[in-house]
Amino acid sequence: MTSEVKIPDPLDLDREEEARLRQVAGLPPAKTAVGEYAGFESVGLPERPPQTEREREVYTLEEGEMLVNMGPQHPSTHGVMRLVVKVRGEVVTDIDPVLGYLHRGIEKLCEEATYTTVLTYVDPMDYLSTMHNEHAPAIAFEKLFGVTAPRRAEYIRALVVELNRVFSHSLMMGFLALDMGGITPILYGFINRDEIVDMLSAISGQRMLFNFFRVGGVNWDTNDEFLSRLGTWRSHVLKNVEMSERVITDNEVFRSRTIGMGTLSGRDAIALGVTGPNLRASGVAFDVRKAHPYSIYPELEFEVITQPGGDSNARYLQRIAEIKQSIHLIDQIVDKMPHGAVQAQVPGIIRPKPGRAYAAIESPRGLYSVYAISDGGPNPYRFRMRDPSFISLQAIPKLMPGRLIADTMAVMASFDPVMGGVDK
Amino acid sequence: MVDLRRSWRAADRLGRRRALTAPAKAGALVRLLLDRFPDLAPGLWTDEDTVEVVIEGERNVALLGALRDDPELNFFFLADAAAVDYGPTERFEVVYHLYSDRHPAWLRVRARVNRADPHVPTITGLWEGAMFHEREMFDMMGIVFDGNRDLRRIYMSPDYRSFPQRKDFLLPDDAADSSAAGVRPLERPETWDLTRLSDELAPGVITHAEAEAEVKP
């Protein structure tokens, strides 16, 4: 015998809850979506009044619109990030990125650490460009302490940094294709990456968080394993890059989903603070290695590469051009590498004179800079990091309205953000 | 005769000391700045690749706009914007780093902010990309940027009430407190009570409770 208990429809409960929340928030009552979208109007509405004008704008729905959460565990968000996407059917009308899922407070932790240990804390920030993360603090602290690294150390730094750039860009090529449904290129990307990671682990002792830079030099000199791996890698790297290129570049699906997609003009890119390959793909020749040369870059021959397009395809082509440029730089560095020490003599606990130092470098994602203030003590009084992918992320909500929801991930992947860096 | 090669090697091993006073790499920029803004002279300071000026917070939009739009200065790119807390009895500073393709130096503009009433005009009208910088400064330091249309927390959750990068926000595992107590205090949840900092809330911040009280008479 069955009892006649009426089970409430969960969608009705959602509507009641939404009506209550809207009343609390002072928002107008929701207009009901029609047809197949009925019942999904309340997804993503925060349980509090909107705090700003912009938040009210995002969370106020027009007729036929709804909010979709993309993330935080979405596989193609390159980390842990949530995009609140407002859609009308399949067309994006607004995007609100919600950050902080990976926030570890690295800046605050660095203010409690000695200058030497800061270089270990910055490693897991942008975990695909670990060497770059250490480079800028090393330069800033050397400025503060008034010491220069020996020339061989500077050459080794430039070498590992360019190797890191190559593997970061190879991975970006793979991830971009993966976000459009292509599985093969990411495998090539990881093959290319692993060769370089094995090489860097031979010189630094770690596979991912290298912890290789020191204030006043680097931790180890080159060794036989590193050099032999470098030679082997160099003998076939161009062939590998061309192989990945052949898989992706002329692919019809890839071209139709990247050309004309997410077009960012140079003027907008500058206003938004977009840097690095993404800015150069919009035709602006800004590269910190040329603009404010650091380390040994004044001694190397290279030109700043730019692309005219400004779309996803231009950003991809820019990465390939930069991989080849980095290989060219690595050749020059190995040719010119001098003999000598790799570490200046600095005390275990560094106490710089009170002062301020700013150091900026070109990371694979753009301008990565450190502003360090010393008060004469053993740890930095203030340690500020400007991460390029954090700032570049602001371009996504500007570019996506009017596009399909499936292209959001593809355009985001072309900007190559890393959430470890975005969230610090 | 001095063996130059040998002494260079020794210098390489010991690490050459940098000159602590700056060479005049940015002399032209300094002259130009003093010509355009003579009142900046007291706070002017140069590093080997940085020129620094100090201003009051309210002046940031006017000065940064002038620096951006002057064709000879042409500081068109905002490289960084960060806040510095100089301690509970001192002041805040909002520090802007600018890039120009005309000058071989970064320009650092330090805008002083009253710590008791931290309000600064927003520069999102000059550079749209300053939005995330200002949201981060608001989240971490509690500096309110007047005119910013999206000033909410960016890393911490919306109902969080403290400002973690202020100098009076002490980490519970401060060296003075952790006298070999076994577990670090940071890992013990009972030390996470941050209500003692609740009166630190900057003006202009709406808490969850206040917001609810506003709409519910």
Rg (C-alpha) for chain B, rounded Å, is 23
- Give the pLDDT of residue A6: 64
Give the whole-angstrom CA distance, residue B122 versus residue B144.
Answer: 9
CB contact at 8 A, A125 and A363? no
- Give the pLDDT of residue A153: 92
- Give the pLDDT of residue B193: 52
Largest distance between two CA atoms of chain A? 91
Pairing label, strands A217-218, A213-214: antiparallel
- Give the pLDDT of residue B179: 42
Subunit contact B18:A423, Cβ cutoff 8 A: no
Rg (C-alpha) for chain A, rounded Å, is 24
Give contacts of A 246-285 with B, CB under 8 A.
Answer: 270-274
Residue from B42, B61, B65, B160 nearest B119 by CA:
B61
SS3 A366: strand
Residues of A in contact with B15 (CB under 8 A): 147-150, 216-217, 344-346
What is the block-wise mean pLDDT of chain A (424 residues), using blocks of 10 residues? Answer: 59 69 74 51 60 81 79 71 86 89 88 88 89 92 88 92 92 87 86 91 90 90 91 90 86 88 90 92 90 88 89 92 93 91 85 89 92 88 92 90 86 88 87
- Give the pLDDT of residue B132: 93
Full DSSP string of B48-107: SSEEEEEEEGGGHHHHHHHHHH-TTT---EEEEEEEEE--TTS-EEEEEEEE-SSSSSEE
Kindly give, in sequence order, each residue whose CB lies less than 8 Å from that of residue A145, ignoring residues fewer than 6 positions away.
A115, A215, A216, A346, A350, A352
Tell me which chain B residue has its CA closest to the CA of residue A373.
B84
Give contacts of A 156-215 with B, CB under 8 A.
Answer: none
The whole-angstrom distance between residue A164's C-alpha and the CA centroid of its chain comes to: 13
Subunit contact A358:B47, Cβ cutoff 8 A: yes
**Is the predicted pLDDT of residue B13 greater than 50, yes or no?**
no
- Give the pLDDT of residue B22: 44
Give contacts of B 20-79 with A, CB under 8 A.
Answer: 20, 47-50, 52, 76-79
- Give the pLDDT of residue A324: 92
- Give the pLDDT of residue B195: 52
Using the Cβ of A46 and the Cβ atoms of chain B, whether some distance falls under 8 Å is answered with yes
Over residues B138-188, the pLDDT tens digits come to 989 889 998 888 888 888 887 777 788 888 776 655 544 444 444 444 444
Structural tokens at position A322: 């930069």
**Is the predicted pLDDT of residue B6 greater than 50, yes or no?**
no
Which letter does DSSP use for residue B122 in this model?
-
Using the Cβ of B8 and the Cβ atoms of chain A, whether some distance falls under 8 Å is answered with no
- Token match 């750039």: residue? A165
Tell me which chain A residue has its CA closest to the CA of residue B127.
A271
Give contacts of B 99-118 with A, CB under 8 A.
Answer: 99, 101, 104, 106, 108
* pLDDT band with cut points at 50, 70 and 90 for residue B207: low
- Give the pLDDT of residue A177: 87
The whole-angstrom distance between residue A252's C-alpha and the CA centroid of its chain comes to: 27
Residue from B176, B152, B177, B155 nearest B165 by CA:
B155
Give the whole-angstrom CA distance, residue B183 versus residue A302.
Answer: 53
- Give the pLDDT of residue A9: 58
Subunit contact A358:B106, Cβ cutoff 8 A: yes
CB contact at 8 A, A34 and A48? no
Asked whether the ipTM of the predicted complex exceeds the cut of 0.85, the reply is no
Pairing label, strands A366-374, A382-386: antiparallel
Phi and psi dihedrals of A315, rounded to 5? -65, -35
Q: Which of A100, A107, A147 sits opposite B15 (nearest CB)?
A: A147
Nearest Cα of chain B lies from the Cα of A247 at a distance, in angstroms, of 35
Q: Name the burial class of residue A27, with classes exposed (0-12), middle (13-18) and buried (19+) by CB atoms within 10 angstroms of its CB.
A: middle
Give the whole-angstrom CA distance, residue A267 versus residue B202.
Answer: 35
CB contact at 8 A, B211 and B204? no
SS3 B111: strand
* pLDDT band with cut points at 50, 70 and 90 for residue B205: low
B39 to each of A399, B36, B42, B57, how far by Cα in Å? 42, 9, 7, 15
Using the Cβ of A391 and the Cβ atoms of chain B, whether some distance falls under 8 Å is answered with yes
Q: For B100-127, give one letter per residue: b (16+ CB within 10 A) or e.
A: beebebbbbbbbbbebeebebbbbbebb
